[in-house]
């Protein structure tokens, strides 16, 4: 029976952690972005984020992002550097072409750092992206 269930694979949708200048704080900050690199829109996008390790756990945060058009992105959460010592998980659910998609994006502890920065497609800023 389990083999009969069709679970669609998420492609061309990513979570990126971007290190960028904040004009209000007058310093560089870390922000989480959802990137839709598909040609088509994703609808009713919801992200649930949390971080944990063997001894510590963050609060669970839910973000309703709505619709992201094709080839677009949306900032959804500022991040504090203290949580980078935790495994950070971003669970995404969305609809595309009337099908429900789900994917977990995991940033392992200590992988978010200024030493790991690359240019993020579509956004054009420095950050870390999950496959």
At 70-117, the pLDDT tens digits run 999 999 999 999 999 999 999 999 999 999 999 999 999 999 999 999
Q: What is the value of pTM for the model shown?
A: 0.93
Q: How many CB atoms lie within 10 A of CB 22?
A: 12
Range 2-122: architecture per CATH: Sandwich (2.60)
Q: What is the pLDDT of residues 34-48, one digit of tens each?
A: 999 999 999 999 999
Q: Angle at Cα 80 formed by Cα 58 and Cα 20, nearest 5°?
A: 145
Q: Which residues fall within 8 angstroms of residue 78, CB to CB, at 6 or more apart?
A: 29, 30, 31, 32
Question: Tokens 């956004």 belong to which residue?
Answer: 123
């Amino acid at each position: 029976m389990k083999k009969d269930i069709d679970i669609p694979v998420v492609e061309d949708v990513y979570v990126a952690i971007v290190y960028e200048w904040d004009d209000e704080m007058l310093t560089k900050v870390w922000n989480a972005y959802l990137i839709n690199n598909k040609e088509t829109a994703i609808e009713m996008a919801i992200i649930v984020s949390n971080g944990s390790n063997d001894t510590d756990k963050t609060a669970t945060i839910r973000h309703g992002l709505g619709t992201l058009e094709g080839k677009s992105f949306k900032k959804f959460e500022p991040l504090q550097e203290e949580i980078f010592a935790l495994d950070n998980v971003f669970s995404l659910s969305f609809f595309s072409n009337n099908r429900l998609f789900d994917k977990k994006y995991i940033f392992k502890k200590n992988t978010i750092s200024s030493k790991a920065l690359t240019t993020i497609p579509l956004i054009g800023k420095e950050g870390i992206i999950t496959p």
